[in-house]
Structure 1
Amino acid sequence: MGRMDNEPELPKVEWLNDRLQLTLAFSKRYKMSTAVCYLRLHFPQELSQHHDDEIETALVSNILSRLNRSIRNIDTLIKINRTDFAILLVDITEHDCKQICERMISSISDTYTIDYRHFSISSNIGICMFPYGAEEPEKLLVIAKAQMYVAEARGENQFSLYIGELDQMASRKVLIENDFPYALKRGQLHVQFQPQYSLEKKAIEGAEALIRWNHPSLGEVSPAEFISYAEEAGMSNQLFFWVFEEVCRQIASEKIRIMKYSINLSVNQLLLDSFLDDVKEIIHLYSVSAKHITLEITENIEIYSVKTVNERLIALKEAGFTIALDDFGNGYFSFSDFIKLPIDYIKLDRNFVFSLWKNKKHKGVVLPIINMAHNLGLQVIIEGIEDQTQFVEWAQLGCDIIQGYFISKPITFEAMMDSIAEIEERAEAVRNQG
């Protein structure tokens, strides 16, 4: 496939509602059926994480050309964002609509070659038809989007047609995705802290800051449900700095106990040109020492320049920050790259820990990891410890810090400070029993 310099010209997303209104008015007048399709592209993980704009533009250009060839001249294709599209199929039967959706999916599903690199692209489509599914433009689009999630649940390259009953999980996803961009402005986000227990010090020596969303109708929404939307909406950097500042604001008043507060950091944020200056400015604003902040960077950094990442991490360490490597165990990069990283902690991935525990392989697998980390001068954090038995066994393996529901669920800063003594007493009592 050759490179295409320009994407085909499409109606702007701002026109989507107007196009829907006009299309439905036309369909009502001439008593025709219309289908609203919601299509989502699925880019390979390496492209999504690396945000290679030039390659992505070339891919999308090719995909749009294929989509335009798959629909009729009377139909309308509208790009909503980098992965999502709306397709308005006018004067269409259900049978023909399904055929066009199959044609669109088939035309997209392919391996694309750009600059000698190969990328496999898949898609899913949700469909809602007028007048059988809904008559209001906004409702048609919402239902089509919900059906796209139903199609995703079936697997890649599937489509789903609304038949009169919305899938609850798909409806929840639509509501979350549509409302999240406004959550920060409306003061619906807050930070909770999950204490981290040091086995050597027999004390809580840190806590991980975890963002939560109090949705007005759904209640508490976990970050697993909305972080991906934040990334797609280009809000991940804004979200990080909001959490960072909120943590600094809350801990600024705590002068009694010296602890480290961990904040999750993506490589995209780390590589921002102004990142170091920005975090320094925030801690200076709240008179917080960098030594009280641990930045947890995820392990999937091998898709970036290890040299550049190292330089940024070294600068953070020189400024006084502690660095932890989060999600260790996913195996994204080589040992030679790992030992170059200027880190202080490794944090075993919760799913990795659970899988080892479930299969009774934790002792044989984790012990060499812990020994390796200690030989490199690193401390090991185990997260996802949920009960007394797990706590005792993982403690006996020689890890340094334990985090999980057995220690404490995520709670407010004030609640954590009030419960530290009780947590420490309970943990020590269990260790003595074990």
Structure 2
Amino acid sequence: MTNTPVVNKKNKKRGEILGIVALSTLFIAFSVIQDIVRIDIMPDSLRGVLSSMQILLAMSMVVISVTGYRVAIILMILSFIPRFIMLLNNNNSVLPGVSISIVGIATILIVHLYLVSLEKKERELFALAHTDALTDLPNRRSLKQKMLSLISNSRNSNGRFAVAMIDLDNFKNINDTIGHDWGDKVLSEIAVRWKSIVTENDYICRLGGDDFALVVNNYKSLEELDNHLHQFLDKVMEKFILKGKDYFVTASMGVSIFPNDSIETSQLLKYADMAMFVAKNQGKKRLVYFDNMMNDAVENNVEVEHVIRRALETDTFRLVYQPQFDIKTKKLRGFETLIRLSDSEGKQVSPADFVPIAEKSSLIIDVDKWVLRHAMMDFLPFVEKIPEMILSVNISANHILDDSFIGDIDRILEDTHFPEKNLEIELTESVFVNSLERAKTIMEKLKDRGIKIALDDFGTGYSSLSYMRDLPFDLLKIDKSFVDTINDGPKEESFVAAIISLGKVMQFDIISEGVEEQNQLDVLKKLGCDFVQGYIWGKPLSLDRAIEVMAQN
């Protein structure tokens, strides 16, 4: 196998040796000329020129390499010794030559020390530019250079390598709960753990934040590669002891393969990143390999993002409102606001498709504000006539935890003059998983303003008695998936019964979503559910149809 960097290094070394030999030959030649020509024949000026030329040649050797410096010093000393002996024998005519030799040796030494210092600083600067300061791992720049080198070498060897992008799952929780200094300790410890398992074929880098990359070269099979990559994920999952408490971290990994997926550095990194995000979306704590369908999905995401941006710019989102009813009296409680989006051809884009894309692109904050403002404007005339009417609006975790959220709520309430007591904000459990303390602070600010808070999709995520006890909810929403199976057997009914009982203990109102059949309604009524929402009593309605429902109630 031809290794281009090694060949270039050998050629450079060979050139240095040839240069030193040539310069040394000239140096010796000048010495010989001075030695064989009698002093009384050669003018002092010419002898001085030859000595100066020797110093120049010696200086050139010093600049070439350390070997050149050693050769130059030896030659200068050898040329100095006979002149010094002649000087000791009272031959004062060689005094200028001796002086020149001493100056030359001193100059060579000074230049060499300067060059050594310069090279040291260059190495330090190179290390700073190519190494992550926190973990002492190579950085993104080093990663790209390593990949370019592997690609170059593979042209003559048909080699292959894997690129893995690694992202720590929910690492923000560590920083938010115990501080960034402790978060940095975790990152450093992870780097130490990985260094303990790397082989000569691995190249692990930190790209920034909690993002890392790993290049694996010369693996024998995909099975061997898969086992090796899982070792890195396993090392992350080992226990961390921080401030005397046990913490656990997981990681998601996406992998692309050279040359199967691409032969370009940027594309390999992009594809590995895509695969890593798929791993995140599939539940985290796993490894996913890139395939071309992911690329198609990304192109679709870009198109949907464009549709979202256009809808924000042209004010063409559409809102529908699904009524909520008291399960015993069928009295109207209020409406949940639902957003609809159409593409340029008028085709409906499902919220299940465009909302996650909006969240990833940070457009979700603008979408949330659009929904809040327009829903409040739609319902302001009716809440003034029906004081107990509730307008419920879903807000994304990204927006709730954003520094601008409370300010956005206050601004829209002020602009629309919508009563705070008639507004209900629906949150999902992901808010508390991301940052419990921050979520609690924000929820308390909402409660201070008289705004109601509903816990949406309860039971589908990270349900925890501790946050249900500590956080100021008003309403608990039972997810449709539990309502769908409530008549499948005693176990399914008991599960919903347990949720309702838990909500009652916590003094929450309970509403069940997705109620479509009479037998579902009957069971929920028997179990003590307070409110229902679903097709059995009301589909999502346009504003005009919602007005009719309000008039009927």
What TM-score do the two structures reach when normalised by structure 2? 0.56
Q: Deviations along 1:109-149, whole A, 9 cap, x unmatched? A: 42222222223344454433322333244543454456557
Larger Rg: 2
Q: 341-350 vs 173-182, which deviates more?
A: 173-182
Indicate how the Cα distance of structure 1 residues 366 and 70 shifts in structure 2: closer, same or farther if over 3 A, else same: closer
CA contact (8 A) 2:455 2:473 kept: yes
Pairwise CA distance, 1:194: 4.9
1:332 alignment partner, one of 461, 464, 478: 464
Distance 1:137 1:403 in 2: 51
User: Secondary structure at the residue paired with 2:418?
Assistant: coil
Question: Structure 2 counterpart of 1:333, which letter?
Answer: L
1:67 aligns with 2:67: no
Deviations 1:173-211 (A, max 9, x none): 666788888776454795654513213663554333346
Is 1:131 aligned to residue 259 of structure 2?
yes
AA paired with 2:134? N
Equivalent residues in 2 for 1:371-382, closer than 5 Å = 378-382=508-512
Aligned-pair CA distance for 1:402: 1.3
Residues 307 and 344 in structure 2, CA contact (< 8 A), matched pair in contact too: no
CA 1:23–1:64: 2 relative to 1, 3 Å:
same
Q: Equivalent residues in 2 for 1:54-93 (5 A)?
A: 54=180, 55-71=182-198, 76-79=203-206, 82=209, 84-89=211-216
Q: 1:31 to 1:362 in 2, by over 3 A?
A: closer
Q: Residue 33 of structure 1 aligns with which residue? A: 159
- Correspondence for 1:322 among 449, 452, 456: 452
1:247 corresponds in structure 2 to 372
Q: For residue 220 of structure 1, what is the aligned residue in structure 2?
A: 349
Deviation at 1:294, TM superposition (A): 0.3
Distance in 2, Cα, partners of 1:157 & 1:376? 33
Q: Which of 519, 523, 530 is the equivalent residue of 1:389?
A: 519
Q: CA deviation at 1:171?
A: 5.5
- Secondary structure of residue in 1 paired with 2:372: helix
**CA distance change for structure 1 residues 108 and 22 in 2, over 3 Å: closer, same or farther?**
same
In structure 2, the CA distance between the partners of 1:155 and 1:319, relative to structure 1 (3 Å rule), is closer
Aligned counterpart, 1:431: none
Are 2:239 and 1:114 equivalent residues in the alignment? no
CA distance in 2, matches of 1:50, 1:341: 18
Inter-partner Cα distance in structure 2 for 1:206 and 1:77? 55
Give yes or no for the alignment of 1:358 onto 2:488: yes
2:408 maps to what in 1? 278
User: Which has the higher relative contact order, 1 or 2, with Cα contacts under 8 A spaced 6 or more apart?
Assistant: 1
Q: Which residue of 1 aligns with 2:268?
A: 140
Provide Cα deviations, 1:265-292, integer angstroms capped at 9, x if missing partner: 5788667666434311122123333233
> Which residue type is aligned with residue 35 of structure 1?
F
1:152 CA drift (Å): 8.0
Secondary structure, counterpart of 1:288 in structure 2: coil
SS across alignment from 1:358: coil
- Tell me if structure 2 keeps the 8 A contact 1:248–1:288: no
Provide the C-alpha distance between the structure 2 equivalents of 1:321 and 1:58, rounded to a whole number of angstroms: 40
* Bigger fraction of residues in helix: 2
How much identity, in percent, do the aligned residues show? 20
Amino acid at match of 1:104: F
* Cα distance, 1:187–1:16 mapped onto 2, change above 3 Å: farther
Q: Deviations over 1:222-249 (max 9, x none)?
A: 4489649947x7x4xx734641443222
1:182-331 paired onto structure 2 within 5 Å: 185=309, 187=311, 190=317, 192-199=319-326, 202=330, 204-210=332-338, 220=349, 222-223=351-352, 227=356, 230=359, 235=362, 239-240=364-365, 242-258=367-383, 259-265=389-395, 275-298=405-428, 301=432, 304-305=436-437, 309=440, 313-328=443-458, 331=463
Whole-Å Cα distance in 2 between the matches of residues 49 and 264 of structure 1? 27
Residues 167 and 276, structure 2, Cα contact 8 Å, conserved in 1: no
Could you tell me whether the CA contact under 8 Å between 1:36 and 1:88 is conserved in 2? yes
Is the Cα contact below 8 Å between 1:24 and 1:137 reproduced in 2? no
Structure 1: tracts of 5 or more residues without a match: 429-434
Higher mean alpha-carbon deviation, 142-151 vs 132-141, is at 142-151
Higher share of residues assigned strand: 1
Asked if the contact 2:135–2:191 (Cα under 8 Å) also holds between the matched residues in 1, the reply is yes
In 2: Cα distance, 1:326 partner to 1:344 partner: 11
Q: Is the 8 A contact 2:428 2:457 kept in 1?
A: yes
State the secondary structure of the residue aligned to 1:110: coil
1:51-109 CA-to-partner distances (Å, cap 9, x unmatched) read 65534332222223333454456754444565543333456654675565354345434
Alignment partner of 2:239: what SS?
strand
Alpha carbons 1:195, 1:407 under 8 Å: kept? no
Deviation (angstroms), 1:331: 4.5
CA distance in 2, matches of 1:127, 1:317: 45
Q: Match of 2:531, as an amino acid?
A: I
- DSSP-derived class of the 1:263 partner: strand
8 Å Cα contact 1:328/1:348 also seen in 2: yes
1:400 aligns with 2:530: yes
* 1:168-183 mapped onto 2 (5 Å cutoff): 168=293
Instruction: Check 1:131–1:273 CA distance in 2 against 1; reply closer, same or farther (3 A cut).
Output: closer
Cα distance in 1, alignment partners of residues 304 and 534 from structure 2: 27
Residues 344, 378 of structure 1: 8 Å contact kept? yes
CA distance in 2, matches of 1:105, 1:57: 18
Deviation readout 1:305-335 (Å, 9 max, x if unpaired): 59x93x754543342322223344564125x
Tell me, yes or no, if the aligned pair for 2:473 and 2:508 is still in contact at 8 Å: yes
In structure 1, distance between residues paired with 2:418 and 2:357: 30
Q: Secondary structure at the match of 2:465?
A: coil
Q: Secondary structure at the match of 1:296?
A: strand
Return the letter of the residue paired with 1:128: S
**Tell me, what secondary structure is at the counterpart of 1:284?**
helix
- CA positional deviation for 1:6: 2.8
Structure 1 letter corresponding to 2:464 = Y
